[in-house]
Amino acid sequence: MKVQLAKVAGFCMGVRRAMDMALEASQNAQPPVYTFGPLIHNPSALSLLRARGVEVLKEIPEKGKGTVIIRAHGVLPEEKKRLKAAGFSVIDATCPRVVRVQMVVRRYARKGYQCVLIGDKGHPEVIGILGYAEGRGILVSAEEDIESLPELDRYIIVAQTTQDQERYEVWSRKILSRYPGGKVFHTICNSTYRRQSEVRRLASETDVVVVVGGKQSANTRRLAEIVAECGKLAMAVETEEELDRERLSGFRHVGVTAGASTPNWIINRVVREIEALPGALDSIRRQVAYRFVRFLYESNLWTALAGGALAWSAMIIDKANVPSFFAVAMAFCYIFAMHTLNLFMDQEAGEYNDPLRAKFLSRHKAIFYTSSMLAVFVSLGIAWYLSMASFLWLMAISALGILYTVPVIPGPRRIRALKNLPGSKTFFIALAWASVAVLLPLTGFISCLRPMHWILFILGAVLVYMRSVLLEVLDVQGDRIVGRETLAILIGEKKAVNLVGLLSVILGVVSVILPALGIVPWRFASFLPVSLWMLGLSCLFSGRRIGQNLRLEFMVDTSFFLLLAGAVILDALL
């Protein structure tokens, strides 16, 4: 089945900001921590906050203690004052777009203007905005409300930030035609506008559109309404459990969109579940191929094969008299074991970053745990066969890999494990892969490593580093939830992707300049096509990625097979 994900889906800026502030407060703010009303309209996200000790405060007591986070929709100005007067420490997580509407309304209300607000009756954002109108606010929530408007002289028209753009324009013109002279402000969030435009395009290209989001979310309901207006079936779900699988199997092309308060991990689950369904015209061959690819991905075999490809490439590029079988087998076994065991020991992050892989490994835990331990012993056995130095080195790296998620560092609670060291994940993975795939086989057969070997090690480590950074960008939301400070979180997703682009250019230039200067053989130019591939991926990752983890992770790890192909071709030509 063909599944097409909307280019704009999932957390908008305001919701992401509110969630980040709430998660930060759950760890560092004065307890107990509350949100005044639901922070956002999504049950899964609210359950996550409850699990982090953040409860919902429904009424403002006369006296209270702790921290209260004001929801993304905003509140009445009087309520904010009452919270502070009650003794709470207040964190304002109101979306900046909503704050802008509130300030426009307050400014013109103080000038004596009436405010006509087009929005949903009873919605928290609407209630909050009207509170800034100082008694001069009028709500228009249906077209018939326009007919019952009182006489308007000096007035402004604003919209709830999640309103439908087309409807807002039509209703504004009707109000202006009845009472000329009003000032219209374009207060609909740009993210909302792009999301709505995208869902119209999606509805025109697909047979059915699945809309993912909380049932109380106004912008999610609006997306479903737009799909229906386009004459297509809209299937609204909160999670993958609500999918009508039998009905979806009757379609060939399914579109997926999501509200602004829908977490990435929920979208990923829905997309993956739909992709696994047999489509109306899907062949048995296609279904088998998809299941096989998904198995390689979820079992970590594809990642382990990528490590083996790196080892094989290194042996070809170096022209070392090392049996390639031993190098490939050692790298494959080690990488498979370490990645699988760390997923078992860090299940919390896996539940958010890649829930289907976590579910798959949990369901077959006995098999994969046993095979991982066996792979550890096989890799150690090969290292022992190569040399004592290789064996001791691999023992040290393996211990470091196993201890990565274990609290072993004394000091502050938040950095008790190596995984909590800011930006450590990318560095340790690059060091481990390059050591096992490049240096250990050479150490076993070459008495003295030459500068060329260290250059090969560095180039391999840079390639693995770029791989890890891109995958961290995919996992940024889940890592943020569990409090992991990855490079993508420390410097931001955009800067992390730009870093990969910069390293790709450097890798490509170095892979050509060093052979041209005679420092290394021309086989090192095998890194040039890989650098171009990673540069292209960095451009791809700068766009929307939600729901495409399976596809994108395969593309990232394919870089190592591209390196192998380049090494084989250059070796044959030279």
Catalytic residue list: 125
In whole angstroms, give the CA distance from residue 458 to residue 436.
13
Extract the tokens encoding 52.
């982090």
Placement of tokens 């697909």 in the chain: 206
In whole angstroms, give the CA distance from residue 551 to residue 242.
24
In whole angstroms, give the CA distance from residue 353 to residue 473.
10
In whole angstroms, give the CA distance from residue 140 to residue 142.
6
Q: Are 415 and 421 in contact (CB under 8 A)?
A: yes
Q: Are 362 and 376 in contact (CB under 8 A)?
A: no
Residue from 208, 203, 316, 302 nearest 252 by CA: 208
In whole angstroms, give the CA distance from residue 393 to residue 402.
14
Helix (H) or strand (E) holding 4: strand 2-5
In whole angstroms, give the CA distance from residue 318 to residue 460.
12
Extract the tokens encoding 300.
């970590």
Burial 432-455 (b: 16+ CB within 10 A, else e): bbbbbbbbbbbbbbbeeeeebbeb
Distances (CA, A) of 515 to 519, 526, 527, 560: 6, 11, 11, 20
Q: How many CB atoms lie within 10 A of CB 573?
A: 8
In whole angstroms, give the CA distance from residue 85 to residue 343.
47
Cis amide leading into 521 (omega within 30): no
In whole angstroms, give the CA distance from residue 560 to residue 308.
9
- Beta-carbon contacts of 286 under 8 Å, excluding residues fewer than 6 positions away, are none
Name the 3-class secondary structure at 474: helix
